[in-house]
Chains A and B, each alone.
Chain A
């Protein structure tokens, strides 16, 4: 029975909404004008933080966690680190003394040899962006490697070139050298690594270390003694998955007595900007929320007072005051839905202007003001919910309306 009553009240409330469309437009506009600046502010906050975060994330160095000094890490320990949550890439490094070699380009007549740092790479390495397919191809035929931009410039080499990889060792005071042709699979951008270096699969790296340690490397025919001890590693290359993963990983490594350096200071600058913008947004958004709720509450109260005659006539017809509470609440919810849509349209018309004003100057072409569809849905839902609560609170006035009021005013 009450459902039929409520259904009828909604129908009547909707008819009144259409009848009073001019007054309703004013309320919708008020809500839209209140909501639009909050949306712009949120979109600015989101856009700026997203752009700054993306800029940080585009630099793999930001996600790197670098051990300070050398230590001894077992295979098991490195594997354990690989399995840690938040680890994007980890690869063991060899001793610093062994991690050096020469590269030369035979195509150059007066080509100097370039001394390069030796670093491991593998699938998922954010510095080389190495994919699984490319990784497997690196092992076919001539050994594939990545060289850094700086080394490539000095060697006048580019992707697809073949270079000569030379390593030396001292035997009884005399120098001994082996050479290996290597294929340049790719050149690491300057932003990702600044020094002269060669990124290679760990097999070649371990072979280099073995050669320097006078251990035989059968794969390349390098002479030496047979391998006896299990290999240990002096360091590792480690990259976190996201900015938020760096701190927990650093803390865990500290518990393992591994001192590391990170780029947390740079991240904390962005986090501090985000925190301040969040505070600003919550203050302004909170004020808008309170203002919006008060506006809806006062409008509903005023609407009930203005409609007292009609509502009392409905009471006279036999509607219960319980069902009639729905009359102003339904209108407030409809106004809040229309106000949210109008506020969003205002935002959408302002967004390109704000982006044109700020993006070029602040974010080097990035987008300063951006709103996800989900954000718009949340903003609408919050507006409707707050309107519903405020209108429901204000509609208690309906309870005191008597049918007599309608009769005496008629």
Chain B
């Protein structure tokens, strides 16, 4: 079996935003995220979890500040900061996202004008892929087969999250990023959904990066939890650092 390859390689990442008197800085001194790893970003609101996810999902407006390299197991390594200097290259990040990254939002982030089936098929069609056995497999595992022809507004919150998970996995990406994927669910439902999510991610050997306020649940499901700390805080500046524990 091949050893897992490094997907994200981050060194001395620093992203600052805010005004002169209320500046916030996100720091990631050194971090590597490998294939198949399950990584959790936890911490209080405003600690920079979402900002960090934006950087990892290549959608941050401060990509040119990111000291980050990206690889998906082939020989090519992308230097994100140098690509982001040219704004015209931002559609390139879209192309990387559509192929290698799946995303799950807090309330699903599904398109209301499409049926469940069309929502799940969306990444396949965008990548020019055909629906295969895996589509049926994840629908069966996530128990959404009977909902395939329904519109999104006919689904419960839990069902929506399961559809969102199916959509993030269907094109078999290398990374799945989830921003509070179970925050809108009750505890029982949250555990069920997270269990299905984790099992499918492990099955695919995909790197699963989740931002959550619930550190204990993340640990319980076997996530490596990044340590978050405010290393310097004064009236004008707040610095939040993420590092391995």
Binding site for B on A (CB under 8 A): 4-5, 8, 11-12, 15-16, 18-20, 310, 313-322, 402-404, 406-408, 410
B244 contacts partner chain A, Cβ-Cβ < 8 Å: no
Residues in chain B near residue A407, CB distance under 8 A: 50, 54, 59, 103, 105, 109, 179
Task: List residues of B (77-130) whose CB comes within 8 Å of A's CBs.
Answer: 91, 94-99, 103, 105-114, 118, 122-123, 125-126, 128
In the assembled complex, the Cα of A19 lies from the Cα of B111 at a distance in Å of: 11
CA distance A222 to B113 in the complex (A): 98
A-B residue pairs in contact (CB < 8 Å), sample of 29 = A8-B125, A8-B126, A11-B125, A12-B111, A12-B113, A12-B114, A19-B112, A310-B112, A313-B109, A313-B111, A314-B111, A317-B122, A318-B99, A318-B123, A318-B126, A319-B94, A319-B126, A320-B95, A402-B61, A403-B97, A404-B59, A406-B105, A406-B109, A407-B50, A407-B54, A407-B103, A410-B105, A410-B106, A410-B109
Which secondary structure dominates where chain B touches chain A?
A: mixed
Cβ distance A141 to chain B, nearest Cβ, rounded Å: 84
Q: Chain B 10-51, CB within 8 Å of chain A: the 1/0 string?
A: 000000000000000000000000000000000000000010
Is B107 touching A404 in the complex (CB atoms < 8 A)? no
Contacts of A321 in B (CB 8 A): 91
Q: Cβ of A5: which chain B residues have Cβ within 8 Å of it?
A: 126
Q: Are A410 and B112 in contact (CB under 8 A)?
A: no
- Residues of chain A with a CB closer than 8 A to B91's CB: 320-322
Among A314, A318, A319, the most chain B Cβ lie within 10 Å of the Cβ of A318
Q: Complex formed: what's the CA distance from A406 to B123 in Å?
A: 17
Q: How far is the CB of A311 from chain B (nearest CB, A)?
A: 10
Of A321, A407, A408, most B-chain CB atoms within 10 Å: A407
What's the least CB distance linking A321 to chain B, in Å?
7
In the A-B complex, the 6 residue pairs with the smallest Cβ-Cβ separation, listed nearest first, are A318-B98, A19-B113, A320-B91, A16-B113, A410-B105, A403-B59
Beta-carbon contacts under 8 Å, B112-160 to A: 112-114, 118, 122-123, 125-126, 128, 151
Q: Min CB distance, B121 to chain A, in Å? A: 10
Do A15 and B113 touch (CB < 8 A)? Answer: yes
Dominant secondary structure of chain A at its interface with chain B: helix
A410 to B56, CA, bound (A): 18
Q: Give Cα A255–Cα B125 distance, bound, in whole angstroms.
A: 74
Which residues of chain B are near A20, meaning CB under 8 Å? 113
Q: With A313-B111, A320-B94 given, can you name 16 additional A-B contacts, CB distance below 8 Å?
A: A15-B113, A18-B113, A20-B113, A318-B96, A318-B99, A319-B126, A321-B91, A402-B59, A403-B97, A407-B50, A407-B103, A407-B105, A407-B179, A410-B105, A410-B108, A410-B109
CA distance A317 to B107 in the complex (A): 15
B41 → chain A closest CB, angstroms: 14
A282 to chain B minimum Cβ distance, whole angstroms, is: 41
Q: How far is the CB of B167 from chain A (nearest CB, A)?
A: 8
CB distance from B46 to the nearest CB of A (A): 14
> Which of chain B's residues has its CB closest to A321's CB?
B91
A318 to B94, CA, bound (A): 4
**Interface-central residue, B91, B95, B110, by most chain A CB under 10 Å:** B91
Report A365 CB to chain B, min CB distance, Å. 54
CB pair A316 B103 closer than 8 Å: yes
| B105 CB contacts on chain A under 8 angstroms | 406-407, 410
Residues of B whose CB lies within 8 Å of any CB of A are: 50, 54, 57, 59-61, 91, 94-99, 103, 105-114, 118, 122-123, 125-126, 128, 151, 179
Flag if A404 contacts B97 (CB, 8 Å): no
- Report A-chain residues with C-beta under 8 Å of the C-beta of B98: 317-319
Max chain A C-beta neighbours (<10 A), residue from B54, B107, B122, B151: B122
| Complex-state Cα separation, A352 to B34, whole angstroms | 75
**Distance in Å from the Cβ of B112 to the closest Cβ of chain A?**
7
Contacts known (A317-B97, A318-B97, A319-B126); A310 close to B111, Cβ less than 8 A: yes
Q: From B123, which residue of chain A is reached at the shortest CB distance? A: A317
In the bound complex, residues from chain A placing their C-beta under 8 Å from that of B111 are 12, 310, 313-314
Question: From residue B131, how far is it (CB to closest CB) to chain A in Å?
Answer: 14
Interface centre among B57, B59, B110, B125 (most CB of A within 10 A): B59
Closest to B115 in A: A15
Residues in A with CB closer than 8 Å to B125 are 8, 11
A15 contacts which chain B residues (CB < 8 A)? 113-114, 118
> Closest residue to A318 on the B side, CB-wise?
B98
Give chain B residues whose Cβ lies under 8 Å from the Cβ of A317: 97-98, 103, 122-123, 126
- In Å, the complex CA distance between A322 and B109 comes to 22
Instruction: Determine how close the nearest CB of chain A comes to the CB of B229; give it in whole angstroms.
Output: 25
Complex Cα spacing A126 to B1, Å: 98
| CB-based nearest A residue for B53 | A407
For A313, list chain B residues within 8 Å (CB). Answer: 109-111
Q: Which residues of B contact A319 (CB under 8 A)?
A: 94, 98, 126
A11 → chain B closest CB, angstroms? 8
Cβ contacts under 8 Å, A410 to chain B: 105-109
Residues of A within 8 A of B106 (CB): 410
- Contact between B94 and A315 (Cβ–Cβ < 8 Å)? yes
* Alpha-carbon separation in the docked complex, A406 to B50 (Å): 13
- Give CA–CA (A289, B122) in the complex, Å: 38
Residue of B nearest to A4 (CB): B128
Whole-angstrom distance between the alpha carbons of A410 and B57 in the complex? 16
Closest chain-A Cβ to B90's Cβ sits at a distance in Å of 8
Residues of A within 8 A of B123 (CB): 317-318
Complex Cα distance A322/B88, Å? 11
The chain B residue with its CB closest to the CB of A313 is B109
Closest to A11 in B: B125
Instruction: Give the docked Cα–Cα distance between A318 and B173 (Å).
Output: 12
Residue numbers in A under 8 Å from B114 (CB-CB) = 12, 15
In the bound complex, residues from chain A placing their C-beta under 8 Å from that of B110 are 313
Per the bound structure, the CA–CA distance linking A16 and B57 in Å amounts to 26
Q: Which residue of B is nearest A8, CB measured?
A: B125
